[in-house]
Structure formats: structure tokens, C-alpha cells
Amino acid sequence: MEKKGNILMQKYEVGKLIGQGSFAKVHHARDVKTGRSVAIKIIDKEKIEKVGLMDQIKREISVMRLVQHPNVVQLYEVMASKSKIYFAMEYVRGGELFNKVAKGRLKEDAARRYFQQLIAAVDYCHSRGVYHRDLKPENLLLDESGNLKVSDFGLSAIVESKRHDGLLHTTCGTPAYVAPEVINNRGYDGEKADIWSCGVILYVLLAGFLPFQDPNLMEMYRKICRGDFKCPQWFPPEVRKLLSRILDPNSSSRITVAKLMANPWFKKGFRPSNLIKSGQGQGSTSSSDIVQEEEGVEQEPAPAKLNAFDLISLSSGFDLSGLFEDDHQNSKREAWFTTQKSPDAVVSKLEELATTQSFRIKKKDGGRVKMQGSKEGRKGQLAIDAEIFEVAPSLHMVEVKKTAGDTMEYLKFCDQGLRPTLKDVVWHWQGSAEDLCPQAIQEECVPN
């Protein structure tokens, strides 16, 4: 199915091989309907099941569906056959940032621009509860305009991966870029670990070599754990000071993303709030689809679009459902419903709900609504995201998801607040794929 020149799933014309690993290969491909270039990642199911990597693939899918940002490689859709899993992803033409650094150190302005885009992407991922855990120049791609794109979320973690102590415990990453607390294997904060890796990357961009080097791996680890590095003489004083705060071996005193983004050297020429244009569906981003969010201007919610595979994946009886979400976790923190009402009507009801439940509400781009409770619970304030997706002009799906706070409080909120308030707009709560598809759009909901 994936041979060069063949049509995959009646949607993509597969082209040349552009990358290959032990368990997957990546082809350039063309969307036969739109002509858009995509990258098709082809994963051999049998191979990954033999070595126990299926959970990692599931996690990568879940994470990539969570993050949509101009500086993150976009996942358009996931497809599968009996023997293969296919990721249709954004095709990034410019290659790895590593290749650029391999030619020599970068000028200060160029290094700062890439670092700004990296931090913007990382900050966004963290806001969605995603920690990359393997940030390095080889996983940073450049598009034809020279914009940075974070890729390879295979080792990433999500909030639900934390243990009861609130920390992550899986040791992973690339040795030269890994944080001291990850090496020590005593549990670590995913956000602080990512910040450390970003600091190593900034050093590499400006120096052309690594801050922690030694032929002996254990000696290199000792240097990392001591924060034992020296800046070249050409590093500006502001960068030296900033790096000392990023590459702080004590994670509790290490600079946060928020303070890093407020740093004068970092802020120079930085334009925050680059957002995906409202109305673009999942995986519909291009460099021309990015607009500036003007301060003080509220973005009207416009629904993203679900394709047939997104719909089918929600069916509990379909084989691929397990690739996207863990059902046990999903039942606790996430709910779906369909509606034949307009997005404005749904948002109006959510605003009504927020008022009666004493929640603060904020409308975001892409048909998203954020609500935050005023009461301090056992695990902090309850925070809930609602996102509207267009299935057809007369049918929308709404995802309601807990992003912070106590699960029991969230379940109580759903039972006593959400369902009663939304009863006039809800057509059907989460069910099978057949329940989601009225006869008029039945053909859209059946895969080829």
C-alpha cells in the first residue's frame, strides 16, 4: 500500500522515502484532493508489538492530537490497516536545525529567534499538560521560511503520567541534553526538565558545541549534575547570566518558562501570541494561516473540523480506539456530546453554566472555551476546557475535559452542572460511531 506511486487509503499519493528507522519509515506524499505535501510515517505494528512499544505509539498519537501550534509539527490524521499504522503529518522541507548548527555556530540574532520559537512551542505544550522530554537540535525542524518546528513526541509525557508525588519517573532523553534530576532518577518535574534541555540547545546554537562534554559518559553526567560548564568569550553577558539560571542543577531554583520569557535578552524582537487562524481544522496549518492575536481583542470561537477517522476512533467497538485515548482515564476526565445547535448557542450555554457555578470563562481561538472555578479544592482550582468541532454544517461535537483540579469535583460538576444546563443543546452524549452520524452525513462517517 505504501510503495512509491501508490495511493494510500484513497487519499495520499506516496512518494520518495525521506527517513527510516528500526520500526518506522517516512515518505513524502501528496494529498490527492488538495495537492498539499504531507509526510507519511509508516509504523510496522508487528515490530512495535514485539518490542513492547505500542504504548509509546499510543502516547505519541494522544500527545500530537493535543498540541496545535505554529512551531510544532502538526499531525493531520492517523490511519491503520491490519499490519500498519499511518501518521499523516505536516511536511517540513528545511531539514533539522542540527544540520545548520553542524556547519558552525549561529549569529546571536538567529540563535535568539530559534530559541524564542522553541520556548513558545514548549510553553504551549506545557499549557496543554505535555512534556517533550527529548528536546535536541535533531528533533527541531525548519520549514521553507526558516521557522522552527518541534517534532518527535515519542518520548513525551502527559500530566496523567505523573505519580502521586506529582513527578515523572521515567528516565529518558539524550544524555548530553538531559537534566540532572532525570539522571538522578528520583522523580522530576517535566517542565523544569524541558527548560534545561532548551538551555543546552541555546548554548549549542551560540557556541557550535555542547556545554557538557566528556568521552566518559559517567564523567559527563557528573558535570551535568554539578552544572559544570563554561561560556565561550563571545557569549554576551546577558546570555551568560540567562544560561546560569537555565542550566541550574537545582531544579527548584531553575528559571521558569514565564520568567524566561520576561527576560530582556529573550524579549528582544519577540512577537508572542502567534496563533493558528480561527476556523482552521486540526492539521490545517500553514505559514500563511498564522495571525497575530491583538491585545484586548476577543477571538470569536470558530469550530475545528473532524474527519471520518476522528469520528470512527470514538467508537468503543472500533479497533483503533485504544490508539487515541485510554478509556479508563478518558471516562474520568473527558466527555463528548453532539449537538445540532450552532457554536454560538453552545458557548452561550457554557457562559450560563459558568455564571451559575461561579466559574471564570474565557473564549479562545478555534472554538475553545476555558473555565476555571473560584473554589480551592484538594488539588487546586478546577479548570475545564471545552472545544467545539464541526462534523457537518448542521452537526457539531463538543469535547469537555478537566485540565486541572480534583477528579471527584469534576465528576460532580458534570453530573450536577454540565448535563442539566446543556440538556437543551445536547443531541447525544458520547456513544458509538453510528450514534454520531445522522443519515444525511452517513457517507462522511464511513472510512474507505
Instruction: Specify whether 340 is located in the same domain as 380.
Output: yes
Question: H or E stretch including 141?
Answer: strand 140-142
pLDDT at 325: 40
Q: Which domain holds residue 323?
A: 298-445
**To 5 degrees, how large is the angle CA 188–CA 193–CA 195?**
150
The total number of structural domains that make up the chain: 3
The residues, ordered by sequence, that sit 6+ positions from 74 with a Cβ below 8 Å of its Cβ are 64, 68, 89, 90, 282, 283, 285
pLDDT at 306: 57
Residue where a domain terminates, one of 31, 60, 91: 91
Instruction: Specify whether 212 is located in the same domain as 322.
Output: no
What is the domain-level CATH number for residue 263? Answer: 1.10.510.10
Instruction: Specify whether 421 is located in the same domain as 313.
Output: yes
pLDDT at 317: 39
Instruction: Specify whether 164 is located in the same domain as 250.
Output: yes
pLDDT at 434: 35
What is the domain-level CATH number for residue 50? Answer: 3.30.200.20
Instruction: Specify whether 114 is located in the same domain as 59.
Output: no
- Per DSSP, the residues of 358-402 read TEEEEEEGGGEEEEEEEEEETTEEEEEEEEEEEEETTEEEEEEEE
pLDDT at 232: 95
pLDDT at 307: 52
Instruction: Specify whether 139 is located in the same domain as 251.
Output: yes
pLDDT at 370: 84
Residue where a domain terminates, one of 91, 106, 121: 91
Structural domain contains residue 285: no
Structural domain contains residue 290: no
* Cα pseudo-dihedral 126, 132, 133, 138, rounded to 10: -140
Catalytic residue flag (residue 134): yes
Q: Strands 290-292 and 148-150, how do they pair?
A: unpaired
The number of C-alpha atoms within 13 Å of 115 and in the hemisphere containing its C-beta is 32
pLDDT at 219: 93
In degrees rounded to 5, what are phi and psi of residue 335? -140, 150
Instruction: Round to whole Å and give the CA distance between 93 and 107.
Output: 22
Instruction: Specify whether 258 is located in the same domain as 352.
Output: no
**Extended strands (E) in 164-225:** none
In 3D space, the residue among 121, 117, 147, 143 whose CA is nearest the CA of residue 132 turns out to be 121
Instruction: Specify whether 440 is located in the same domain as 399.
Output: yes
Instruction: Point out the catalytic residue in the list 123, 134, 248, 365.
Output: 134
Question: H or E stretch including 117?
Answer: helix 108-127
- Per DSSP, the residues of 316-364 read TTSTTHHHH--HHHHHHHEEEEEESS-HHHHHHHHHHHHHHTTEEEEEE
The residues, ordered by sequence, that sit 6+ positions from 348 with a Cβ below 8 Å of its Cβ are none
pLDDT at 374: 72
pLDDT at 122: 92
Grid coordinates given for 382: 478546577
Instruction: Specify whether 219 is located in the same domain as 367.
Output: no
Instruction: Specify whether 232 is located in the same domain as 108.
Output: yes
Per-residue pLDDT tens listing for the chain (448 residues)? 445 458 888 899 999 998 877 778 889 999 999 999 999 989 888 888 887 778 778 777 777 777 888 999 888 888 888 889 898 989 998 888 988 888 889 999 999 999 999 999 999 888 888 888 789 998 899 998 889 999 877 554 444 444 444 444 444 557 899 989 988 877 778 899 899 999 999 999 999 999 999 889 899 999 999 999 999 999 999 999 999 999 999 999 999 999 999 999 999 998 764 443 333 333 333 332 222 233 333 334 456 655 544 554 444 433 443 444 444 444 445 677 888 888 888 888 888 888 887 888 887 665 678 888 877 666 678 888 888 887 766 778 888 888 888 777 788 888 888 888 888 888 877 643 333 344 333 333 433 3
Instruction: Specify whether 140 is located in the same domain as 268.
Output: yes
